[in-house]
Structure 1
Amino acid sequence: MFALFFTALLLGFIFNAAPGAVFAETIRQGMRGGFKGALAVQIGSLVGDALWAVLGLTGVGLLLQWDLLRLPIGLAGVLYLLWLAWDAWQEANKEFSIKLDRTNTHSKNALRSGILLSITNPQNVAYWAALGSAMGAIGVSDPTVSHNLIFFTGFMVASMLWAFLCAGIITQVLQRSPRYWTNLTYRACAIAFLVLALALLRNLWSLYVSPQNSVQPPAIHSEP
């Protein structure tokens, strides 16, 4: 059981530490809301991660591999990333200094961003679909309820620790950065969101539209 918990803990850190949209949004919200804003994004992403984890551990997550569900989830992610890119670029045009906004409204917006980014991330489908392989690698071929609970606990513990660590590091870096970096950081986040949206759209295109993935008619062989 300890090996399972440690594996879940390690996978949780790897999963959360991977750079992506949540990290970029944590930086952006941290510039406006300080530690509270950055942490709200991270906690929000945990809500989405927990949802995917429950679906994956209960086996329902396998249903999310269906094209009928994966495609709209991916498209929703593309649209939201594009909106974040536009919003960050607009902020860069009018923000030239770090103005902290620790109001509840800002924290709620940051929390909502984290939730939406996590829920609309189709990579979570692939991650939890591979959960059986991860458990099988440590000898758990037929996971029980207790196995699932231990894995879920380990994953969420790692995620919670990373949320505070990431928010703290980002806040410290931002507080020590020159104020004229604010504009550049907003623009960097906007570009990051745009690149991620285009990468996700390209991935969806290769899966569902690319000719290489279309069904080819069977070859007709003539009789000798």
Structure 2
Amino acid sequence: MIELILTGLWLGLVFNAAPGPVFTESLRRGVRGGFGPALAVQVGSLVGDAAWAVLGLAGAAALLTQPQLHIPMTLIGCLVLLLLGLQGIRDALKPKVPTSGQQTSPGGTLRGPLAAGALISLASVWNVVYWAGAGGAVGGALGDNAPFGPLVVFFSAFMTSSILWCFICAGFIAGLRRAVSQLWTRIIEGGAGAALVVMAVVLLLQTVEL
């Protein structure tokens, strides 16, 4: 049981700490708004993390790698990344001064950091691929007819590690925000937006080649 818990904690850390769209969006919003927006993106992404973990452990994530489901989902993910990236570039070029105690320009569905994190995670094709493999590996280690209890233990350890990472990541970004000037804040924000656009284009090209 201890080994199962440690495996869940480790996979949760590796899964969430790997650089990707969620971290990039957290960085983009965190350098502008601080700890709160960065944490909100991370917490929002847990919705997708939990959904894909459950599907992966149930063996259903592999079904979404089929072309008839994989391609539409990839296109949706590209659109989400593209819109968020363009928003980041626009905000960096035309910075808005927030009023005291308020987050900058929260209008629009993708503008809310919590919603943005959830959308990125739910529409991420990388999450599908990851859990299609990881879920099968965990299931294989536990046996074909794995009891429900060990799966719950693994899932709980994974989510615990994921929640801890949310605060670690948001704290790091908040510290970075305090350490850089306003000019570098805009450069980081614009760079993060551009990175999201690049991710969307690369993902689209990979899909076209399939």
Above 0.5 in TM-score? yes
Matched, 1:174 2:186: no
Between stretches 193-202 and 163-172, larger displacement belongs to 193-202
Query: Counterpart in 2 of 1:74?
Result: 74
Task: Determine the C-alpha separation between the residues in 2 that align with 1:7 and 1:100.
Answer: 43
Cα drift, residue 113 of structure 1: 0.3
CA contact (8 A) 1:89 1:186 kept: yes
Cα drift, residue 86 of structure 1: 1.2
Cα drift, residue 182 of structure 1: 1.9
Query: Counterpart in 1 of 2:143?
Result: 141
Deviation per CA, 1:47-102: give whole Å up to 9, x if none: 11111111112222232122111111100011111111211111111118787764
Query: Counterpart in 2 of 1:186?
Result: 189
Uncovered stretches (5+) of structure 2, i.e. residues with no partner: none
Between stretches 158-167 and 175-184, larger displacement belongs to 175-184
Query: Counterpart in 1 of 2:127?
Result: 124
Uncovered stretches (5+) of structure 1, i.e. residues with no partner: 208-224
Q: 1:92 to 1:99 in 2, by over 3 A?
A: farther
Q: 1:98 to 1:24 in 2, by over 3 A?
A: farther
Between stretches 99-108 and 192-201, larger displacement belongs to 99-108
CA contact (8 A) 1:32 1:98 kept: no
CA contact (8 A) 1:31 1:100 kept: no
Between stretches 149-158 and 25-34, larger displacement belongs to 25-34
Q: 1:162 to 1:197 in 2, by over 3 A?
A: same
Task: Determine the C-alpha separation between the residues in 2 that align with 1:170 and 1:36.
Answer: 10
Matched, 1:6 2:6: yes
Identity of aligned residues (%): 41
After the TM superposition, which segments of 4 or more aligned residues of structure 1 sit over 3 Å from their partners?
Answer: 96-108
SS in 2 for 1:19: coil
